[in-house]
Structure 1
């Protein structure tokens, strides 16, 4: 039922710095400029490939007063992004040009670094290249070197067996040959689970991941998962229409929030592919509050 990873959502202290990092340095497209629908004073930024495809999306809530994160017992950790084979030297040099420190793992063909909020990121070489229709056009990064999408999400938890059971039994994601790892069936994105080995409580802050989202094809599939969550008595945070997709939010056994979102109608609901990210985009049910929402947001 799960098609792929939909998006990963984190916190940033500065929309301006965040936008520069992900569009100028990493070359992702600014797919959607929106707001947190529960608190419309919070800007919500979406980045991805040119078409804003699920599996490429990193999103950020701007919290101007947010403090540092404390990653202790249970938390979402490193997000690894796919780049074409042979492009690690290009990316190492590019990040160095922008004074970003990196750690190179030659054996795994992997480059680790942090964004402006200390969000842990990595690039890993794969045999794929980005499709011409998905390559961003605003960037000076050649299409042959561009980030393709999400490769892996690492979760650090106290009880990994329970998280793996949630992913395999509730979401029906297949295990890989690696211990504590599942993979979606459409795009092959991994979710990897590891022991946190810490007991103090984690505290979210700048650079923390709030949730990860997986994709289902239709609202019928989402409804089936909602009914399954009720039957399994899973903690359900929300079952809600977001406009661009409908979402179910649940908690996995270690308390991390997991979203399941529909693939449609998608980000072209209110903007064409060519115009994505050019306006403050809010779903129809918030349009009557647009003036008040715009008044709360600072330019960036």
Structure 2
């Protein structure tokens, strides 16, 4: 039932710096400029491939006064992004041109770096390339070199076995050939769970991940996952219509927020593909508040 990763959402201090980094440096497309639906004074930015496909999406809530993050226990860690085989040198050189420090793994073709908010990222080579229809067009990153999508997310928790059981029993993911790593059947999309080894409470801040979202096909399947959560007595945070997708938020056993989101209707609900991200987009249920919302937001 789970089809893949849908998106990963984090916090940024500056929409302007965030937008420059993800569109100009990483070459992702700005696919949706909208707001946090619970707090419409907060801008919500979405980046992905040209079509804004689930599995490519990194999203950010702009919190102008947010402080530093202190990841201690029970937190989402690094996000790994897929690039085509042989492109690691290109990306190491490109990031260096923008004065971004990188660390190359000595054992595997993985390049580690951070965004302006200290959000931990890595690039990993895979036997794949971005499809022509998904390649972004605004960037000087050639299609053959472009980021393909999300490869892996990392969770650091106090009780890893309980989180792994949640991923197996509730989400239905499968154990990979590496311990404490699960994947979708026949897909190179992974979730790794390790021990945080600390007892101090984490503090969310700039660069912290708020939640990771997995994809289900339809509202019918989302309802089935809701009923399954009820039966399994999994804490339910929200079950809500977002306009671009419908979402179910639950808490895994160590308290991290996991979202399930539908594939459809997607970002062309209110903007055509060719102009995604060029306007302040609001789902239909917020249109009657557009003037108020626009007045709260600063240009970036």
Range into which the TM-score falls when normalised by the shorter chain = over 0.9
Gaps of 5+ in 1: none
Q: SS in structure 2 opposite 1:96?
A: helix
Distance of 2:202 and 2:218 partners within structure 1 = 34
Give the structure 2 partner of residue 287 of structure 1: 287
Give the structure 2 partner of residue 59 of structure 1: 59
Give the structure 2 partner of residue 82 of structure 1: 82
Equivalent positions of 1:63-74 (< 5 A) are 63-74=63-74
Q: SS in structure 1 opposite 2:289?
A: helix
Alpha-carbon shift at residue 199 of structure 1 (Å): 0.3
Deviations 1:101-158 (A, max 9, x none): 0001143101000000000000011110111000000000000100000010000001
Deviations 1:47-86 (A, max 9, x none): 0000000000000000000000000011000000000111
In the alignment, does 2:6 pair up with 1:6?
yes
Are the structure 2 counterparts of residues 269 and 187 from structure 1 closer, same or farther at C-alpha, using a change threshold of 3 Å? farther
Give the structure 2 partner of residue 146 of structure 1: 146
Give the structure 2 partner of residue 276 of structure 1: 276
Give the structure 1 partner of residue 251 of structure 2: 251
Q: SS in structure 1 opposite 2:292?
A: helix
Distance of 1:86 and 1:18 partners within structure 2 = 27
Q: Is the 8 A contact 1:70 1:203 kept in 2?
A: yes
Distance of 1:188 and 1:245 partners within structure 2 = 24
The number of equivalent residue pairs is 300
Give the structure 2 partner of residue 207 of structure 1: 207
Equivalent positions of 1:105-124 (< 5 A) are 105-124=105-124
Are the structure 2 counterparts of residues 186 and 217 from structure 1 closer, same or farther at C-alpha, using a change threshold of 3 Å? farther
Distance of 1:55 and 1:3 partners within structure 2 = 9
Alpha-carbon shift at residue 233 of structure 1 (Å): 1.2
In the alignment, does 2:131 pair up with 1:101?
no
Give the structure 1 partner of residue 174 of structure 2: 174
Distance of 2:211 and 2:195 partners within structure 1 = 18
Distance of 2:240 and 2:76 partners within structure 1 = 23
Q: SS in structure 1 opposite 2:188?
A: coil
Deviations 1:6-65 (A, max 9, x none): 000000000000000000000000010000000000000000000000000000000000
Q: SS in structure 2 opposite 1:2?
A: coil
Equivalent positions of 1:188-267 (< 5 A) are 188-267=188-267
TM-score of the superposed pair, with normalisation by structure 2: 0.99
Q: Is the 8 A contact 1:3 1:186 kept in 2?
A: no
Distance of 1:169 and 1:25 partners within structure 2 = 39
Gaps of 5+ in 2: none
Q: SS in structure 1 opposite 2:122?
A: strand
Distance of 1:163 and 1:139 partners within structure 2 = 38
